[in-house]
Amino acid sequence: MTSTERLKSMLQGKPVDRTAIAGWLHMPLVDRNIAEFVEATIQFTDENQWDFVKVMSNGHYMAEAYGADIRFSSDPTRWSGTFLSYPVKTPGDLLKLPVLDKTNAALAREIAVTYALVQHYRGKVPIVATLFAPLTWIQEMSSSTDPRLTREFMQRHKKALHTGLEALLTTQFTFIDGLLDAGIDGIFLASQFISSAVISREEYNEFCRPYDQAILSYINGKTWFNILHVHGEKRLLFNECLDYDVQAFNWEDAPYGVADTERSSIKSIRKLTDKIIIGGIDQHHDFYQEENNRDIIRARLQLQYQRALKESGGNNFIFAPGCALPQDIPREIFMLLKDIVGE
């Protein structure tokens, strides 16, 4: 089976030849160079036999498109750069956010990368473009990974925030048009505001859900493998997004050290949905071992695989990390996943 055949069989409830696997990794040294990024992504996909390509775009690409001044990372173990200036500093900046065209240099670069990957794999491996939910982009454009300013906007400047979200949403529509023209099979819609640790249910339903739903409605019928990434380790708001029109959910189902009462296990989510579950691995823990002993890491991953396979019911399951793979370990360690599912 090709990867596309494998995933489509899963979606149709048909048998597959093996469990699907996936992984994605930040590549800060090459992810703003089209040719080098495409080459590195193909190599990483092929050596691990991933069953879809989650295009690991530079995490600042929308902020870059909106004019942020960023010193991009030159450290292969650190994905995030340093913001020298943010495009959103005040509520007034939200009111003035323009709608960008897909010809914007940063957006055009991401579309070009996606097109090259589609042309390379020609339908054999699904290509999934990375989009962040509009509120997550507001955070990135105002204080990067720190939600405090975005929370202030939610609580004290609602009208300005909605105006900014609408502009970002329209920009994402034009960006999606370019990605669809490039031939994507789906999107990986990532939300960092989907945990009660950072947002209330009421805030989520006002500032997240309508914009997420608008994106999913926009691509409805145009793609076949869409993933919602529910970001965070605990107190995830799964009940607010179970009805999203996606084919798969990805989240950190087994974060090391998080109490069972605060995490969302595969077992608990499987009771609520029959959609594809992508997970099983704690990327912050499972690949690490003091002596980098491959056998110890393999045994740990085997136990995670067996647990996740059992909790998922053995169907509609992709063995993968809950978020990006670690950048500070030898990449050959990731090849253990294909060995484990092949045994």
What is the per-residue pLDDT for 315?
Answer: 82
CB 124 within 8 A of CB 3: yes
Q: For the segment 83-114, what is each residue's pLDDT rounded down to a tens digit?
A: 999 999 999 999 999 999 999 999 999 999 99
Mean pLDDT of 301-320: 96
Q: What does the mean pLDDT of the chain come to? A: 97
The continuous run of DSSP H or E covering 129 comes out as: strand 127-132
CA dihedral 98, 103, 105, 110 (to 10 degrees): 110
Rounded Cα distance between 39 and 42, Å, is 5
pLDDT band for position 321 (50/70/90)?
Answer: very high
Give the CA angle between residues 317, 46, 328 to the nearest 5°.
85
Q: Which of 191, 223, 178, 160 is nearest to 323 (CA)?
A: 191
317 phi and psi, to 5 degrees? Answer: -135, 135
Rounded Cα distance between 285 and 329, Å, is 11
What is the per-residue pLDDT for 334?
Answer: 97
Q: Report how many domains make up the chain.
A: 1
Mean pLDDT of 298-327: 96
What is the per-residue pLDDT for 314?
Answer: 87
Residue carrying structure tokens 């055009």: 108
* CA quadruple 7, 9, 10, 11: dihedral sign: positive
Q: For the segment 42-94, what is each residue's pLDDT rounded down to a tens digit?
A: 999 999 999 999 999 999 999 999 999 999 999 999 999 999 999 999 999 99
Q: Could you tell me the residue range of the domain that residue 94 belongs to?
A: 3-342
CATH code (residue 85):
3.20.20.210
What is the per-residue pLDDT for 69?
Answer: 98
Q: For the segment 228-264, what is each residue's pLDDT rounded down to a tens digit?
A: 999 999 999 999 999 999 999 999 999 999 999 999 9
